[in-house]
Amino acid sequence: MTQHILCGKKSQITFQTFLSGTPARDYVFQQIHYSEQIKQAAKLIKEADYMLIGAGAGLSAAAGLTMGGARFTDNFKDFIEKYGGPYMRDMYSAGFYPFPTEEAKWGYWSKSSMVNRILPGVLPLYQQVYRLAQKKNYFVLTTNVDHQFYLAGFDDKKIFATQGDYGLIQCRRGCHPKTYDATKLFRQMDQAREDCLVPSYMVPKCPVCGEPMEMNLRSDQYFVEDESWHNAERRFGEYLRECEERKTVLLELGVGFNTPTIIRFPFEKLVREHKNMSLIRLNLEEAVIPEAFGVRAMGINEDMVRSIGDLLKEVMHDDTE
């Protein structure tokens, strides 16, 4: 018997207690027509006072921040030529390349941050998600590290980005619980980079222990959860407590099965345990939902540029009636 996420009125809900590793056993695809799926999902949004958004890599990919294809081969041509091999297939794999020096490591990561975090600006799909959420009491839980929710207008205090940020760096050994904004440094590196390398004097060192720095991306046990991370965790826990008593729609966007324990399974658990909660799952290929949820869940297997656009139209249409 697993513990309920919200059980125990007094206890604080932490990121750890929220996580769940239990997949549903009764996944089904929706059988009704797409336009009817949109109508039913819009109804769930309309009925809700609270909207908890859970967003994964699929949302950013749909918004345009794809990790492979032309975005990779156009922006990383020099890196592909210099390093080649199995790592240089896309930006995800390239991040795991065993760069031989700090100059090489920051040569790559400064470029990656430029392409994914600093240069894109706010993307229209994220702005549409904001329009869906803005009239609700919303909260965002995301594994995305590209900062798009902040850019799209969401309140900083209502975002919990659990896995880090492409614009932040930390001590490689996590010797002190702080992160540092590196966007200015990355712009300078981008200007100075030659042959995929940054000059030695630009390589950042930990101000406390002198060790090399690292991207603030969750990849090992040294990932730094700084003060603002813990504040976001606390606010997220408090928000979940409020949801217990309210009509809440969980809007899950582009969360696949790579790390389903952070958003996908906990969302299902919440809906399973709370009759006042419903689930909308938007996903290009994996929008299966537990059959037992009945009309309290809607999975829409479609490109999110289309489904979010149509959902927004349907919700706005209802608003003007």
Give the binding site for Zn ion (CB under 5 A): 171, 175, 206, 208-209, 211
Q: How far is the CB of 162 from Zn ion (least distance, A)?
A: 22
Could you give the CA distance from residue 307 to residue 302 in angstroms, rounded to a whole number?
A: 6
Q: Given the complex with Zn ion, which of 86 and 210 has the nearer CB atom? A: 210
Query: 144 Cβ partners below 8 Å, 6+ apart?
Result: 55, 56, 57, 59, 60, 161, 163
Q: Given the complex with Zn ion, which of 194 and 211 has the nearer CB atom? A: 211
Q: Phi first, then psi: give them for residue 30, nearest 5 degrees.
A: -65, 140
* Sign for the pseudo-dihedral over CA of 151, 157, 162, 167: positive
Q: How far is the CB of 206 from Zn ion (least distance, A)?
A: 3
Q: Given the complex with Zn ion, which of 58 and 174 has the nearer CB atom? A: 174
Could you give the CA distance from residue 202 to residue 191 in angstroms, rounded to a whole number?
A: 11
Q: Given the complex with Zn ion, which of 7 and 208 has the nearer CB atom? A: 208
Q: Given the complex with Zn ion, which of 208 and 316 has the nearer CB atom? A: 208
Structure tokens at 236: 């997220």
DSSP string covering 82-148: HH-TTTTTSHHHHTT---SSHHHHHHHHHHHHIIIIISS---HHHHHHHHHHTTSEEEEEE---S-H
Q: Given the complex with Zn ion, which of 171 and 287 has the nearer CB atom? A: 171
Q: How far is the CB of 171 from Zn ion (least distance, A)?
A: 3
Reduce the DSSP state of residue 321 to 3 states and report it.
Answer: coil
Q: How far is the CB of 316 from Zn ion (least distance, A)?
A: 50
Q: What share of the chain is helix, strand, coil (3-state, %, to 5)?
A: 45, 15, 40
Locus of tokens 């790592």: 87
Strand 277-283 to strand 297-301: parallel, antiparallel, or no bridges (unpaired)? parallel
Q: How far is the CB of 169 from Zn ion (least distance, A)?
A: 11
Q: Given the complex with Zn ion, which of 81 and 211 has the nearer CB atom? A: 211
Q: How far is the CB of 221 from Zn ion (least distance, A)?
A: 14
> 304-320 vs 34-47: helix axis angle to the nearest 10?
50
Q: How far is the CB of 150 from Zn ion (least distance, A)?
A: 26
Q: How far is the CB of 214 from Zn ion (least distance, A)?
A: 10
- Give kind and range of the element (H or E) at residue 210: none
Reduce the DSSP state of residue 164 to 3 states and report it.
Answer: strand
Q: Given the complex with Zn ion, which of 136 and 172 has the nearer CB atom? A: 172
